[in-house]
Amino acid sequence: MKDMRYIGITLVLIFLTLSSSFGQVRSNKKQRATWTFSMGPSIGLMDGTRFSPTTMGAMFEPRLIFGSMGRHSSASLGMPLMIYSFKQSYGVDSIITNGFTVNMPFVFDFNFYHGAFKNTNNRIGIYFGAGWNFNYTSFGISNREGVKENYGGLNHGVYTNGGIKFGFPSGVSFDIKVYASLTFKTPELTLYGVALLYNFGMRKKRGGTWY
| pLDDT computed for residue 46 by the predictor | 79
Domain assignments of the chain as residue spans, ordered by start:
2-204
Task: Give the 3-state secondary structure of residue 21.
Answer: helix
Q: What is the pTM of this model?
A: 0.76
pLDDT score of 56 more than 60: yes
Average pLDDT over residues 165-179: 89
Q: What is the pLDDT of residue 42?
A: 94
Ranges 19-28, 58-67, 113-122, 148-157, most confident: 58-67
Give the range with max mean pLDDT: 15-19, 78-82, 115-119, 169-173: 78-82
Alpha-carbon gap, residue 185 to 208, rounded angstroms: 49
Where does residue 173 rank: exposed (0-12), middle (13-18), buried (19+ CB within 10 A)?
A: buried
Average pLDDT over residues 9-26: 47
Task: State how beta strands 119-120 and 203-204 pair.
Answer: parallel
Per-residue pLDDT tens digits for 84-136:
888 776 665 556 677 888 999 999 999 999 989 887 778 899 999 999 999 88
Element (H, E) at 199: strand 191-200
SS (H, E, C) 69-118: EECCEEEEEECCEEEEEEEEEECCCCEEEEEEEEEEEEEEEEEEECCCCC
Based on the number of CB atoms within 10 Å of its own CB, is 18 exposed (0-12), middle (13-18) or buried (19 or more)?
middle
pLDDT at 1 over 50: no
Average confidence (pLDDT) over 9-19? 50
- Cα–Cα distance measured from residue 21 to residue 35, given in angstroms and rounded to the nearest whole number: 19
Q: Which residue has the higher pLDDT, 201 or 74?
A: 74
Distance CA 108, CA 202 (A): 19
Distance CA 65, CA 56 (A): 28
How many CB atoms lie under 10 A from the CB of residue 164? 16
pLDDT score of 95:
64
Q: What is the model's pLDDT at position 202? A: 73
- Provide φ and ψ at 3, rounded to 5°: -60, -40
Percent of the chain having pLDDT more than 70? 70
Percent above pLDDT 90 for the chain: 36
CATH of domain 2-204: 2.40.160.20
Q: Which of 75, 62, 65 is nearest to 105 (CA)?
A: 62
